[in-house]
Amino acid sequence: MDLAGKHIVLGLSGGVACYKSAELCRGLVKQGATVQVVMTEAAEQFITPVTMQALSGRPVYGSQWDTREPNNMPHINLSREADAILIAPCSADFIARLVQGRSDELLSLLCLARPRDRVPLLIAPAMNREMWLHPATQRNMAQLAADGAVLLGVGNGPQACGETGDGRMLEPHELLEDLVAFFQPKPLAGQRVLVTAGPTYEAIDPVRGITNLSSGKMGFAIARAAREAGAAVTLVAGPVHLPTPRGVARVDVKSAQNMLQAVESRAHGASIFIATAAVADWRPAQAAEHKIKKDGSGKTPELQFVENTDILATVAQSARARGGELFCVGFAAESQDLLANAQAKRLRKGVPLLVGNIGPATFGKDDNALLLVDAERATELGPAPKLTLARQLVAEIGVRLATLAIGR
C-alpha cells in the first residue's frame, strides 16, 4: 500500500465533480491512508457527508464551530494532523478564496492555518471550460503556485454542462497516482529519462510476424517510477496494451527498426537511457507483400533473416554516453546462467549497469526478481511486484549518478 501511514485531509468544495471524490476517498483508504473529509456548505449540495463518512470511516467536518473538538479549533487540529491537504474538487470560487486568503468557513480556514513548511496543499481544479480559461482563473492559479500550492492540472473531455474542453477534474485514479508520486523520494529530480519497453514485431507478411512474450510491464513500471522520482520521462513502447503512466510521454513503435529510429532521435535530449524492451535480434530480410499461403505440397517457405541493429550498444557507444552525459542501463532476459550471461552482456554492450532477470519466469506477470550487475558487484532485488522493483532500481540509479557527480 503506497500511502500506508499517511494522513490525508480531503477537502471538497462545491461542484458536480464531488461524485468523483467518493471514489477517490475509497482509493486513498485502499492504499493505506487515513482520510479526514472536510466539506464546504456548497459541496454538501452535491454529495452528502453521510456518504463520505461511510467511505472514510471518520466523521466529516463542515463547520469551524464544530463542538466535537475540545478546544473548538478544528481548523488548527485537522491541519496539524495532516501529511497533506488535497482539495478535490477545487472550484473556481474556492481557488479565488485561497488566493485572497479568505477564511470565512472551515476548509479555507484550515488551508490558511496549515503549517506550510510541512503540510503541502494539493489542488485538483474542477469547473466549466470557459471558467477555466478565464484570465482571472489563470491569474489565480499562477498565484496559487507562487504561494506554494501543488497544482494537479485538469482533464479534457465532456463536461456536465454539455460542453467539451479543459476544466473537468482529473479521474480518481489519476489523482491517486499523482498523490502517490508526490510522496515518493526524488533521486532523479532534474533528469531526463528515456525508457524502452515491450516486445518488437518483425513482419513476415501482412498478417504474420515474429515477436516475443514480453508484456512491457517492467518497462512501464520503470517509466512510472522514474517520473515519481522527479524525472521527465519519455517511454518508447513496442506493441503492448498497457495504459500510459501518468505524466509520461509515450511513443508507440512496432519493429526494432522503428524503435531504433525513435530512440536515436530522442537520446540526444536524455540524461538516462534504460533499455528494458525485448528487441528482436533478427528480422525477415524482406516481408512478403501478400499473405504467404500453403499450397498443399508440404513444402515450407524459405525465409532469409538479417540482424537488427543493437539499440543499447548503439546508444552506449555514442559520444554523449562515452563522455558521461548519458547513463545507460541495459536489461537481459535470460533462461539460464543469469549472473554469467548478465556480466558478459554488460561488457559486450559497454554499459555501467546491466539488469538481468529470468525471462520465462516473469513474462506477463506482475512480480519479478532482478539482478543488478555493475563493474564491482551483483545485487539481487526481489522477488517483489514490478513497481516495487522499479522504484528500487530507480533509487539505485540515483545513488550511482550521485557517486559519479561527486567523482567529477
Indicate which residues carry an active-site annotation: 161
Angle 350-408-351 from CA coordinates, rounded to 5°: 10
88, with CB counted inside 10 A (0-12, 13-18, 19+), is buried
Dihedral of the alpha carbons of 234, 239, 242, 247, in degrees to the nearest 10:
10
64 Cβ neighbours under 8 A, 6+ residues apart: 74, 75, 105, 106, 109
> And the C-alpha cell for 221?
513500471
Would you give the distance in Å from CA 337 to the centre of its chain? 33
Q: What are phi and psi of 80, to 5 degrees?
A: -75, -25
Q: Which of 212, 162, 195, 169 is nearest to 15 (CA)?
A: 169
Q: Which residues pair with 195 in a beta bridge?
A: 235, 274
Residue written as cell 496559487? 144
Query: How far is the C-alpha of 41 from the C-alpha of 309, rounded, in Å?
Result: 63
